[in-house]
Amino acid sequence: MNVKIIECPRDAMQGWPSFIPTEVKSHYLNTLLKVGFDTLDFGSFVSPRTIPQMRDTAEVLSRLDLQGSSTRLLAIIANKRGAEDALTHGEITFLGFPFSVSQEFQKRNTHSTIEESLVRVEEIQALCLRHNRELVVYISMGFGNPYNEPWNAEIVHHWVNKLVSMGCKIIALSDTVGVSNPVNITQLFSHLIPEFPAVEFGAHLHSHPSTWKEKIEAAFSCGCRRFDSSMKGVGGCPLAEDELVGNLATENLVAYFNGPAALRLDPAAYSGALQLAGEIFR
C-alpha cells in the first residue's frame, strides 16, 4: 500500500515529565528502525532550555544502528543554527520546521513572527538544497486557533502558497490543538492536494480516542498518503486542554490500513516496538 507512516518518537518523548535516559531512547529508536516505517522523527536540534528532553539528540544519533534499515531520519529544527547543527550529521535526510499560521503560537514556539519564520524557512531551504537534504514544513495550528486570532482555510492556503513558491515540496498540516474534524480536514486537503500536485502533503493529526478513524478516513479519501503518528498515541500539544487528546496512535493507523503486512512493515518488529513503547511510556 502506497502510504507513508512517519513515526514520531521525538514528539512522544519531548514532553515526557521525567528525562528518558539516552540508552533507553537509543534502544527504543533502534527497535523502531527495524519496523520499516518510511521516516523516523527521532530528535531535535533546538535549545536544551526549551526542550530539555532532547538535549542528547546528537549522542542518541551516534548510537543508532542504521544498517539494513530503509527508514530515513527526520530532525526538528527551529532556526538556521539548529539546521546547521543537524546538517553536520550525514545520517539525517529530513529537517522539519514548525511554521505556524498563528502569530501568537509562532512567537511562543520559535520566538519569531510569522514573517521572520518565513525568512528562516528560506534560509533553511537553501541550506537543505546545498547539502542535498529535504525540508519538511509543518503548518502548526493548521486546523484551528485557540488564541482568538482569525483562522480559515484561506489563511492556510495563503501561507502554503508562499511556502510552495519558495520551493518547499513536503508540507504537513498539523492539528496542534486537537480541533481537526472530517469537515475541516476535507476542506483543506481536497483543495490543496489538487492545486499543488508537486507537493507531498501530510497529516499530523491529534485525536481523542473516539475520533481517530473519521480523521484518517477524511484525509485518505482526499488523497493524503503521508501520516504522522506515535506508538500508543503519546505526545501532543499541552494547549489542547484535554488530556485524552494526543498524537494519532500508530496502532490505530496501522489497523485502519489492514495491519503491518499491508503496509510492508515487519510484523514481529512492529509488535516488539509496540510492547517497548508501552513499557517506556507507562
Condensed to tens digits (0 to 9), the pLDDT of residues 31-56 reads 999 999 999 999 999 999 989 999 99
pLDDT score at 239: 46
Contact at 8 Å (CB) between 15 and 235? yes
Average pLDDT across the chain, whole number: 94
Condensed to tens digits (0 to 9), the pLDDT of residues 8-19 reads 999 999 989 999
Cα 217 from Cα 3, distance rounded (Å) = 13
Condensed to tens digits (0 to 9), the pLDDT of residues 91-103 reads 999 999 999 999 9
With 0-12 / 13-18 / 19 or more C-beta atoms within 10 angstroms meaning exposed / middle / buried, residue 117 is buried
- Each as own residue / partner, the long-range contacts of residues 48-56 (CB below 8 Å, 24 or more positions apart, any chain) are 50/78, 51/14, 52/19, 53/13, 53/14, 53/15, 53/16, 53/19, 53/20, 54/10, 54/13, 54/14, 56/22, 56/25
Cα 146 from Cα 31, distance rounded (Å) = 37
Work out the average pLDDT over 66-90.
97
pLDDT score at 243: 58
| Lowest mean pLDDT segment, chosen from 101-105, 189-193, 243-247, 274-278 | 243-247
Work out the average pLDDT over 147-173.
96
pLDDT score at 112: 93
Cell of 228: 504522522
Condensed to tens digits (0 to 9), the pLDDT of residues 214-255 reads 999 999 999 999 999 999 999 876 544 445 568 999 999 999
Name the strand (E) or helix (H) holding 54.
none
| pLDDT reading at 210 higher than 50 | yes
**In the structure, what pLDDT confidence band is assigned to residue 25 with cuts at 50, 70 and 90?**
very high
User: CATH homologous superfamily for 4-280?
Assistant: Aldolase class I (3.20.20.70)
Name the residue ranges covered by the structural domains of the chain.
4-280
pLDDT score at 223: 98
Work out the average pLDDT over 70-98.
98
Work out the average pLDDT over 267-273.
98
pLDDT score at 208: 85
Condensed to tens digits (0 to 9), the pLDDT of residues 141-151 reads 999 988 889 99
pLDDT score at 217: 98
- Selected residue with higher pLDDT from 178 and 30: 30
Q: Calculate what percentage of the chain has a pLDDT beyond 90.
A: 88
| pLDDT reading at 153 higher than 80 | yes
